[in-house]
């Protein structure tokens, strides 16, 4: 894909519910700008016209190629601050740096979506604007 194609896609995704279809290494994906919350909009990626829950919870080929990985801490900031007052041994046992990860199909930035697609897919073709 050329830089002009990416610009056209970005412009198209500035209006609600506009669909752009791409073929990435044999997978057909649909990219849609839509509402994901009461006051939040995002670009959502559908693989083969759907989003499966198993793709969001576990690392698989589809999640690695098309979805955004989110890593969160198991502890709140308040819990971390309290834990830092304890000994290093206790911190390590309790898991000060414990995290969990999941995948999400929504992207808040077109640039980060484009970067992720280019890095994780060898061939990207524009099917439909």
Could you report the per-residue pLDDT of 1-53, keeping only the tens digit for each?
A: 788 889 999 999 989 988 999 999 889 999 999 998 899 999 999 999 999 99
Q: Give tens-digit pLDDT for 78-112.
A: 988 888 888 888 777 777 778 889 999 999 999 99
What pLDDT score does 129 carry? 65
SS (H, E, C) the chain: CCHHHHHHHHHHCCCCCCEEEEEECCEEEEEEEEECCCCCEEEEEEECCECCHHHHHCCCHHHHHHCEEEEEECCCHHHHHHHHCCCHHHHHHHCCCCEEEEEECEECCHHHHHHHHHHHCCCEEEEEC
What pLDDT score does 31 carry? 94
Q: Give tens-digit pLDDT for 47-79.
A: 999 999 999 988 888 999 999 999 998 888 898
What pLDDT score does 69 carry? 93
What pLDDT score does 127 carry? 86
**Gap between the Cα atoms of 116 and 62, Å rounded:** 13
**Gap between the Cα atoms of 13 and 22, Å rounded:** 13
């Amino acid at each position: 894909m050329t830089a002009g194609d990416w610009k056209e896609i970005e412009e198209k995704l500035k209006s609600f519910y506009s669909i752009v279809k791409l073929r990435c290494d044999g997978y057909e994906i649909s990219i849609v700008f839509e509402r994901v919350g009461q006051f939040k909009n995002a670009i959502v990626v559908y693989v083969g016209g759907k989003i499966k829950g198993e793709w969001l919870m576990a690392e698989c080929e589809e999640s690695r190629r098309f979805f955004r990985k989110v890593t969160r801490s198991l502890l709140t900031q308040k819990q971390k601050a309290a834990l830092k007052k304890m000994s290093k041994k206790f911190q390590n046992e309790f898991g000060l740096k414990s995290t969990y990860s999941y995948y999400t199909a929504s992207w808040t930035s077109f640039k980060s979506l484009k970067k992720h697609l280019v890095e994780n897919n060898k061939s990207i073709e524009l099917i439909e604007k």
